[in-house]
Structures are given as C-alpha cells and as structure tokens.
C-alpha cells in the first residue's frame, strides 16, 4: 500500500520569502514522487518528479524538491515566492510496482503582496 501526507492544509507567505510545502510518503518499495499545482478552474500541472539519482530535484517555475529517504519526505521549495504561486499543491506517489498514483490531500498556498 502507498500513501501520501501533506500535513498543512494552508501555507501563507509574503512575496519574496521562501516557500516550503511539506510532503511525507509511505510505500512498500522504491517510490516515484511527483508534485503538481492546480490553479483555479484548471487541471493539474506537473511541476517535478523524483525517480532516482540526485536528492535535489529542480522543476518548473523555479520550484525544487528535496527527497529524503530516511525521513520519507519530499518537500517542495521555492526560494522567493511570487503572488502568482498562490494555488493548490498536490504531492503524489507511485510505488514502482503499482499502477495507481496516490495524491495527498493538497495544500493551499497563499502568497500575499
């Protein structure tokens, strides 16, 4: 079985400040990890993925995520947040032997000007 936890329903930051969105996962084997963002009235947009290799993954729009196997975490980060980063963010995991993508509950990010 696989699962994802996003412990924060909401994250509020000021523009220009660092942004972190937390994600922890549970899988029986090796994980494939993904971050998606959803803007109002849009579908999910792929930001980045971790498959193997470097623990620091760089993605779209200046986002990056750090894979930590010992803490089973995959936190999303952006050094300097923009108002336009305000959206709903989903972490997702797929076990290497599973077809299904399991999503976290989502974190709403609000960046204030």
Partner 1 sequence: DTEVTQTPKHLVMGMTNKKSLKCEQHMGHRAMYWYKQKAKKPPELMFVYSYEKLSINESVPSRFSPECPNSSLLNLHLHALQPEDSALYLCASSQGGIGNQPQHFGDGTRLSIL
Smallest gap from residue 16 Cβ to partner 1 (A) = 26
Cβ neighbour number for residue 45 with a 10 Å cutoff: 13
Decide: is 24 part of the binding site for partner 1 (CB under 8 A): no
Judged by CB under 8 A, which of 18, 42, 58, 60 binds partner 1? 42
> With contact defined as beta carbons under 8 Å apart, do 6 and 23 qualify?
yes
Site membership for partner 1, residue 74 (CB under 8 A): no
In eight-state DSSP terms, residue 16 is T
96 interacts with partner 1 by CB under 8 A: yes
Neighbours of 52 (CB within 10 A): 8
* Phi, psi angles (nearest 5°) of residue 105: -70, -15
Contacts (Cβ under 8 Å, ≥6 apart) of 43 = none
Coil, strand, or helix at residue 65? strand
32 binds partner 1 (CB under 8 A): yes
Is 106 among the residues that bind partner 1 (CB under 8 A)? yes
Candidate list 8, 20, 62, 101; residue touching partner 1; CB under 8 A: 101
Residues that bind partner 1 (CB under 8 A): 32, 34, 36, 41-46, 49, 51, 88, 90, 94, 96, 98-101, 103-106, 108
């Amino acid at each position: 079985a696989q699962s994802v936890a996003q412990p924060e329903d909401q994250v509020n930051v000021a523009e220009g400040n660092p942004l972190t969105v937390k994600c922890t996962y549970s899988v029986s084997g090796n994980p494939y990890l993904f971050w998606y963002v959803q803007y109002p009235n849009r579908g999910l947009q792929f930001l980045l993925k971790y498959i193997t290799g470097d623990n620091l993954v760089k993605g779209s729009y200046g986002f990056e995520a750090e894979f930590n196997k010992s803490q089973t975490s995959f936190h999303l980060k952006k050094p300097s947040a923009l108002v336009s980063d305000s959206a709903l963010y989903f972490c997702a995991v797929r076990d290497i032997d599973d077809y299904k993508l399991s999503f976290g509950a989502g974190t709403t990010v609000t960046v204030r000007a």
